[in-house]
Structure 1
């Protein structure tokens, strides 16, 4: 473990979300925003993680479990007051403290490390502040730096509402994220007052207090995306779009062909190999792993699926959790798989449901085939052997085993195991009545004419 602790602020009420779900648990790319941040923090191998909670604390307790220490801020009196709530939890900690925000989910681990490195540089700044320069500075607090030397020493930090016009002209904005030695952090916070326009205890005031003590603080800059906060449904949608654009660019840079990039939707953990082609309107929900040379055709939805090389999926296919396709396997239009394994070169080309099933290599599943896996109480498994041929419109009623090279005739409802090499036909004999249809049509036409004449 490193001598680093992280304090993550997540006590806000999130009123702009208008939701019964805690703000930081709303997902981006299929994952709660707080867990994106926690994953980046974990990469530092910190000695401690403290999450400051308030409203809907029980939801955060459930989401985080024992992975972090939770402390309450009640009432909420500002960011400085929020950080103070972590003091007891870090009473025995003497290292570097990162102060992060649960609704700022995409701070890279490398950026956090850069803040810690700057804090431990030879000139020993009291505080390191993460800054950014957005296109629109809006109402962000400003960080005024000296123009001397490296230009990263802070002269003053000021909230937008308290800033002069000259200070608002500064483009360097405060993200709110900081790195501070534990021994300095809580000593400075004890001196912060609420003598400001909002009557709150501002965390940035520790920088101004350090300046008063004759010490200096420094900045580390980052991309505006890395510190974008999410406070409303609209901002959540904007962040989702921004994340997806970056993920699409990365996929194409890694050797994936996206036919219509803006229509493809990725999840946080999507894995794609080289020479994968993804057609338009494809959704990757969480848990998808795709090997090289795979084609995913238009309007397909994949979740919790694993695809080997040479696989083809869709169009209009749905792969649900537990779907596994071996090398060269193929599922076509309107095929759904759930907890099913399609062997090497096996095919299910049309209108098929495979649930709780194992399909052997080279098997062919005809159009309209379903594995009847649920009896209303329990799920049952269907096993189909290698090179088996399942005729169209067949119902395979599990639990069921069909042997290698077996044939199930079209239209069969199979309830008993089929041996290897066997033909199984389960359907009623055809009844033939010559001339019956002609007589029926004649009778109906006469009846209709009589009714119309009446």
Structure 2
């Protein structure tokens, strides 16, 4: 039961992450800092300002008060608002927005995706054009039970990932409404819409 990132994110094969296209999303994020450091080595010096393993494209805008922690790559045309918090090894493709009060941890975000404000996304892969309305969350840890292993649902069967930290794979153009929650292990097909205040949990569907 294979979960292919390219089935959810159509630009995967042509992206900077193409070398890891055969990994499951939880395998990709499990070593996010190391993978971002690999990508840092290949960035064109003329296009990025790089300091202490934090690379910001010269066309990106980072407001004063944003917290950036290495390793980190912020792509062309991105906007990072005051109060945003990026940590744990993150990669942002072009024209992404991380709004005020939004936290992104150990995640890979494809072009044009937006965390509007007051979001948390942990250990996840977000496709192109994904939009998270205010307060929506992609949780990455099963706090409610003794066994912390995150499961995913494949062909209506729960499959253990072997990881205790994995958020979700959000396919291209997915939408999370305000204050919606995706529980750990979510696999959202392209174009999926989670309504405002809704919970998506693969273990209780």
TM-score, normalised via structure 2 length: 0.63
1:387 aligns with 2:173: yes
Question: In the aligned structure 2, how far is the partner of 1:348 from the partner of 1:382?
Answer: 14
**CA shift for structure 1 position 367:** 0.8
**Runs of 4+ with >6 A deviation:** none
Question: In the aligned structure 2, how far is the partner of 1:408 from the partner of 1:273?
Answer: 40
State how 1:172-211 maps to structure 2 within 5 Å.
none
Question: In the aligned structure 2, how far is the partner of 1:413 from the partner of 1:379?
Answer: 19
Which residue of structure 2 aligns with residue 415 of structure 1?
201
**Match among 114, 118, 126 for residue 347 of structure 1:** 114
Question: In the aligned structure 2, how far is the partner of 1:286 from the partner of 1:393?
Answer: 35
**CA shift for structure 1 position 372:** 1.4
Q: Contact conserved, 2:80 with 2:98, CA < 8 A, in 1?
A: yes
Unaligned runs of 5+ in 1: 1-270, 277-283, 418-425, 427-454
1:311 aligns with 2:78: yes
**Match among 48, 67, 90 for residue 301 of structure 1:** 67
- Secondary structure, counterpart of 2:116 in structure 1: strand
- Secondary structure, counterpart of 1:310 in structure 2: coil
Question: In the aligned structure 2, how far is the partner of 1:275 from the partner of 1:415?
Answer: 39
Alpha carbons of 1:285 and 1:353: their partners in 2 closer, same or farther (altered >3 Å)?
farther
Q: Contact conserved, 1:273 with 1:290, CA < 8 A, in 2?
A: no
Question: In the aligned structure 2, how far is the partner of 1:305 from the partner of 1:314?
Answer: 16
1:288 aligns with 2:62: no
State how 1:125-144 maps to structure 2 within 5 Å.
none
Q: CA deviation digits over 1:200-237, x for unaligned, max 9?
A: xxxxxxxxxxxxxxxxxxxxxxxxxxxxxxxxxxxxxx
**CA shift for structure 1 position 272:** 8.1
Question: In the aligned structure 2, how far is the partner of 1:371 from the partner of 1:273?
Answer: 35
Which residue of structure 1 aligns with residue 28 of structure 2?
none
More deviation in 369-378 or 333-342? 369-378
Q: Contact conserved, 1:347 with 1:364, CA < 8 A, in 2?
A: yes
1:403 aligns with 2:189: yes
The CA RMSD measured in Å over matched residues stands at: 2.4
Question: In the aligned structure 2, how far is the partner of 1:375 from the partner of 1:275?
Answer: 37
TM-score, normalised via structure 1 length: 0.29
Aligned length: 141
- Secondary structure, counterpart of 1:404 in structure 2: coil
**CA shift for structure 1 position 382:** 0.3
Question: In the aligned structure 1, how far is the partner of 2:48 from the partner of 2:89?
Answer: 24
Which residue of structure 2 aligns with residue 369 of structure 1?
136
Alpha carbons of 1:413 and 1:292: their partners in 2 closer, same or farther (altered >3 Å)?
same
Question: In the aligned structure 2, how far is the partner of 1:339 from the partner of 1:273?
Answer: 26
1:322 aligns with 2:89: yes
Q: Contact conserved, 2:56 with 2:75, CA < 8 A, in 1?
A: yes
State how 1:238-253 maps to structure 2 within 5 Å.
none
**CA shift for structure 1 position 286:** 4.1
Q: Contact conserved, 1:391 with 1:410, CA < 8 A, in 2?
A: yes
Q: CA deviation digits over 1:173-217, x for unaligned, max 9?
A: xxxxxxxxxxxxxxxxxxxxxxxxxxxxxxxxxxxxxxxxxxxxx
Alpha carbons of 1:409 and 1:326: their partners in 2 closer, same or farther (altered >3 Å)?
same
Q: Contact conserved, 1:393 with 1:412, CA < 8 A, in 2?
A: yes
Q: CA deviation digits over 1:10-52, x for unaligned, max 9?
A: xxxxxxxxxxxxxxxxxxxxxxxxxxxxxxxxxxxxxxxxxxx
Which residue of structure 1 aligns with residue 156 of structure 2?
none
Q: Return the index of the structure with the highest Cα Rg.
A: 1
Question: In the aligned structure 2, how far is the partner of 1:404 from the partner of 1:290?
Answer: 28
Which residue of structure 2 aligns with residue 357 of structure 1?
124
